[in-house]
Amino acid sequence: MTHSTTAGADEDRRHFPATGRAAEEVLDELASHRSGDVRWDEGRTFGLVFDGGDEVRAVAEEAARMFLHENALNTAAFPSLAAIQSDLCAWTADLLHGPGGTAGFVTSGGTESILCAVEAARERARSERGLHDPEMVLAVSAHAAFHKAAHLFGLQTRVVPVLADRTPDLNALADALSDRTALVVASAPQYPQGVVDPVAEMSAMAEAVGASCHVDACMGGFVLPFAAMEEPERWGSPPWDLGVDGVTSISADLHKLGYAPKGASVLLHRSRALRRHQTFDFDGWLGGRYVTPNLQGTRSGLPMAAAWAVVRHLGVDGYRRLVRSTLEAAERIRVGVRAVDGLDVPGEPRHHLLSITSTDPSLPVFAVGDALAARGWHHDRQGPPDGLHLTVSAGNVPVVDRWLADLVEAVDEVRAGGLDSGSGDGAYSTLE
Ligand SMILES: *Cc1c(COP(=O)(O)O)cnc(C)c1O
């Protein structure tokens, strides 16, 4: 048997492994696959991985090990998971000003929360209003997952532009609303530039046409509440959560700034009746009655148990501490970027998300991204306009000064020439 030659490795990848291998050898091989991965544990990714520090990781890893094999498909068999899910929903509802009766589920992530929210809004419009050609009204800044949902669940999208401050154009939004609107989408904050939409205005407009209003707080759900507790003047926002009457559902990702490992988000509905539109209940199968709350069938207990442990471990005081240091770091980054000739931070983001654009055609921002990548920093790329994206989280706090120094060097290098203009590709992986 070949082991270590390249030809052997290629051969291994084409065929189902013929014979088993010792665990140690397998784990070594797996570890070697990681050699090219970005160093998130050194704060090198502004996004993708959100590191709450050694203790947070340790408690998550122990909980994950404990619940690695459990299945939340049937919570009657695993009452522990029913309790874990219901705690996470109740705690999040408390944080996001959910009225009594607020009900939700844990999903596998922001995308699944959004898919379920869109599907629930469609079902509600069908059953309450007899609406069969539903539309979703959303700003061009709203997350791509809403378009995925429209694609999967057969809604038409009405896309509204944003103003110079990157908040949705409310006049255009008013024009896009009609008796076919099933859902209006607001973001707190939106991902591309990190600004918080005017949720109260948008949800009132939705309510006036009988539509649902979903707030995408996937990024902000476990940041904005703590930010407002820490510094209401500087970091507070106008009402944006379930405390606003017209908001019918909201999503908040535990696996982002909730600092839980991947695979956990909370989707809340204002009432159990609204949540009912989300569940799929089928009784025409030889396998018996089949009821699922979201898109998955078999559902790992690991992410929700690990998320539960992290939230329990951090508590309000722990999150406040992480949010304070993160938002102070993000502020230093914004000030530092704006001090560089030819670079800008669009909009007025005040929290942990921001983008960097170029105001100088001789300074292509993707080339700056390449020069930063050569120094070991990972930034997602976006546009229009061409931009580098930063989600600042606790893991980045210790390396902000190094990043700022490398940014200045990267800009000098691009200005000195010798680099091509860079590309926006590689923002998200492709499967081709
Ligand atoms: C990350 C994100 C999503 C999608 O969540 P996933 O966990 O990546 O599926 C949706 N909306 C916003 C604002 C996000 O930042």
| Distance of alpha carbon 29 from alpha carbon 147, whole angstroms | 38
346 in contact with ligand 1, CB cutoff 6 A: no
145 in contact with ligand 1, CB cutoff 6 A: yes
Give the chain's domains with CATH numbers: 61-312 (3.40.640.10), 315-415 (3.90.1150.10)
The tens digit of pLDDT for each residue in 182-218 reads 999 999 999 999 999 999 999 999 999 999 999 999 9
250 in contact with ligand 1, CB cutoff 6 A: no
Lowest-confidence segment of 68-77, 175-184, 297-306, 362-371 by average pLDDT:
68-77
Residue count (the chain): 432
Written as six digits, the tokens of 303 are: 């992410």
Does pLDDT of 415 surpass 50?
Answer: yes
The per-residue b/e assignment along 339-355, b for 16 or more CB within 10 angstroms, e otherwise, is: ebebbbbbbebbbbbbb
- Spacing of C-alpha 235 from chain mean position: 20
* pLDDT of 432: 47
Distances from the Cα of 330 to the Cαs of 39, 359, 369, in angstroms? 20, 21, 18
DSSP code at position 112: H
Lowest-confidence segment of 43-57, 238-252, 305-319, 412-426 by average pLDDT:
412-426
Between the CA of 341 and the centroid of ligand 1 the distance, in Å, is: 32
Between the CA of 10 and the centroid of ligand 1 the distance, in Å, is: 35
Which atom of ligand 1 lies nearest, measured to the CA of 262?
7
218 in contact with ligand 1, CB cutoff 6 A: yes
pTM: 0.94
Nearest residue (CA) to ligand 1, atom 12: 218
Which atom of ligand 1 lies nearest, measured to the CA of 391?
15
Nearest residue (CA) to ligand 1, atom 10: 110
Distances from the Cα of 5 to the Cαs of 12, 30, 35, in angstroms? 11, 16, 17
H/E stretch holding 391: strand 387-391
Tell me the backbone φ, ψ of residue 144, rounded to 5 degrees.
-60, -25
Between the CA of 131 and the centroid of ligand 1 the distance, in Å, is: 28
| Distance of alpha carbon 200 from alpha carbon 212, whole angstroms | 13
Between the CA of 296 and the centroid of ligand 1 the distance, in Å, is: 18
Is the CB of residue 284 less than 8 Å from the CB of residue 132? no
Token pair 């991204």 is at which residue? 369
Is the CB of residue 387 less than 8 Å from the CB of residue 356? yes
- Which residues, at least 6 apart from 335, have a Cβ–Cβ distance to it below 8 Å? none
